[in-house]
Structure 1
C-alpha cells in the first residue's frame, strides 16, 4: 500500500475541498489541538493529551499502514487563502487487508469543522477508495459503528449511504453503551 497516497473530496458551494492523506509527524500539533475538544474525547477511545502521546498515536498509524491492517487518513481542508491546509478530521479503514468480505470504517471531525459536511465527504472518499482497492481481495461490505447516543454519527452514516443494520449491546469498558451498526455494500 502506498503511504504517500492522497484522496480528494471536491469543494461544495459552502465548504472548501478536502485532501485525505496518511498521518505524519508534522500533524502532531494539530492532532493534539483537536483532542482538546471534550466532545471529541468523549467519542474516541485513545486519549491524546500532549505531543508525546500524539507522536505515539501517529507512529502507530504509520506502523499499521505499513502492516496493511489499518489505513488512517488525516483529513485536511484546503485554505481559501495562501495558508497551509488545516486538519479538520480523521477517517480510517480497519481490517481491509485481511482478504475478508468486510471491514470497518471510522471517523471524527475537529470541532471548528463540524456541521460543514466534512465527515460525509471524507467518508465517501474513503469508502470509494476502500472498495476500489480491496474489492479484488474480496471486500464487499463496510461497517460503521457508533454509540446510540451519538446522533451526529447516525446522520453522517446515512448521508454517506451506510444503512442502519442493527443495535449492538454494550461491551464495557471500551464500548460502555449500546451501539448502532450501519452497513454499506459495494456497488454491483
Structure 2
C-alpha cells in the first residue's frame, strides 16, 4: 500500500517509557499466548487465542489485513530496560476499514495485563489516530469510530482521554456484539 508507514512512536511520559507501534510478526505468537491468559483481556476481545497454533493463525490474519489494507494492526511494545531492542508486548491497536473514499473507519485497542495503569492504551490510540488522519485524510477519511461494551468503563475513559466523544448506545447484536455498546467518534480537524 502506498503512503503507509507501519511503524509509529508514542512519546515517553514522566512515569512510562516511549512506545513503539509496529506490525505484528510471527515471532510474537508465543508471547501473544501468554498475554491472552488474562481473563479480563479474553472478556473484552473476540479473538480466540489459547495456544501456539491459534496465536500463529491470529498473527497471519493481522498480516493479511496489511496485505489487503482492510485491517491495519500494530503490536504496541516498550523498549527493553537496557535500551537494546524491544521489551514485552504492552498492547494492540487497530485501524479497520480505512479504504480510499470512505469517510469513516473504526479503531480498537487492548492492553496487556502487565501494562495496564500506565497510559499505554491512550498513548497508543493517540498515535494511531494521528497517523490514520495523516495517512488517509487526503483519501476522504474524516471520522474515526470506537466501539466498546457499555460495561467496560476503562475503555470509555481511554476513548474520552483521546478526544473520542460518546455519540450513542448501540443495541447488542450477538454473537459478534453480545452486550450493548458505546459508540465514540472523533472528527478530523480540517
Superposition TM-score, scaled by structure 1 size? 0.96
Aligned to 2:151: 149
Aligned to 1:109: 111
| Cα deviation, residue 64, structure 1 | 1.1
Show CA shifts across 1:72-110 (max 9, x none): 000001122256322000000000024210000000000
RMSD: 1.3
| Cα deviation, residue 145, structure 1 | 0.2
SS at match of 2:64: helix
Q: Which 10-residue stretch deviates more, 2-11 or 161-170?
A: 2-11
CA distance in 2, matches of 1:85, 1:6: 16
Structure 2 gaps, min length 5? none
Q: Would you say 1:41 and 2:42 are equivalent positions?
A: yes
CA distance in 1, matches of 2:113, 2:78: 13
SS at match of 1:187: coil
Aligned to 1:175: 177
Superposition TM-score, scaled by structure 2 size? 0.95
Structure 1 gaps, min length 5? none
Q: Is the 8 A contact 2:169 2:180 kept in 1?
A: yes
CA distance in 1, matches of 2:83, 2:149: 39
